[in-house]
Amino acid sequence: MLCLGIETSGKTASAAVCDGEHIIGESILYTKLTHSQVILPMVKKLLEDCSLTLRDIDRIAVANGPGSYTGLRIGIAAVKGMCMGLECECCGVSTLMALSFNVCAAKGMVLAVLKARTDIYYLGGYEVDGGSVKCVYPDRVCTAQELKSTRRELTAM
């Protein structure tokens, strides 16, 4: 199964193709929030570089937040447009859960955090276990003070 992943929730736009075990190709670009101008050309070039077409893709995953509202809308709309008319599954992935996969080989609790603006953060708590990630504290918006108390709470689990 070939999966195309698209991420537009922050200041970078990225796309990757994987076969379930290996990343076949990836592209990352710092966009200064111009996702609408770069994401589709980026996907087209990535697929060409991997000698694939959109019809070869079985599933397209897209970041569904939290993150930049406009960036998320652009990514989700692009994926829905690509899936239209194709036998292709479309699925949303939490930005914070995706971040926690960076340390999924470890075992323990992960608090994934993104800064939203001054003193406002997005956070989610995940249990990682040598390859799997399980949400134990749903994604939410909080202040710096709430972030500190949540960290203590999750550390005690």
Give the pair of three-digit tokens for residue 62. Answer: 């897209």
Residues 69 and 21 in one domain: yes
Q: What is the mean pLDDT of residues 9-22?
A: 94
| Percent of the chain with pLDDT strictly greater than 90 | 82
**Structural domain that includes position 135:** 96-155
Separation CA 98–CA 92 (nearest Å): 11
Residues 89 and 27 in one domain: yes
Give the pair of three-digit tokens for residue 76. Answer: 């989700």
Residues 68 and 137 in one domain: no
Residues 87 and 138 in one domain: no
| pLDDT tops 70 at residue 157 | no
Task: Give the end of a domain, one of 72, 93, 114.
Answer: 93
Spatial contact of 70 and 91, defined as CB atoms under 8 Å apart: no
Computed over every residue of the chain, the mean pLDDT equals 93
94-137 pLDDT, tens digit each: 999 999 999 989 999 999 999 999 999 999 999 999 889 999 99
Residues 47 and 77 in one domain: yes
Q: CA angle, 56 as apex, 51 and 13 as ends, to 5°?
A: 70
What CATH number does residue 7 fall under? 3.30.420.40
pTM (global) more than 0.95: no
Task: Give the end of a domain, one of 63, 93, 123.
Answer: 93
Question: For position 85, what pLDDT does the model report?
Answer: 81
17-49 pLDDT, tens digit each: 999 889 999 999 998 778 999 999 999 999 999
Question: For position 31, what pLDDT does the model report?
Answer: 87
What CATH number does residue 100 fall under? 3.30.420.200
Residues 125 and 79 in one domain: no
Task: Give the end of a domain, one of 93, 117, 144.
Answer: 93
Q: Provide the number of structural domains found in the chain.
A: 2
Residues 77 and 104 in one domain: no
Residues 82 and 131 in one domain: no
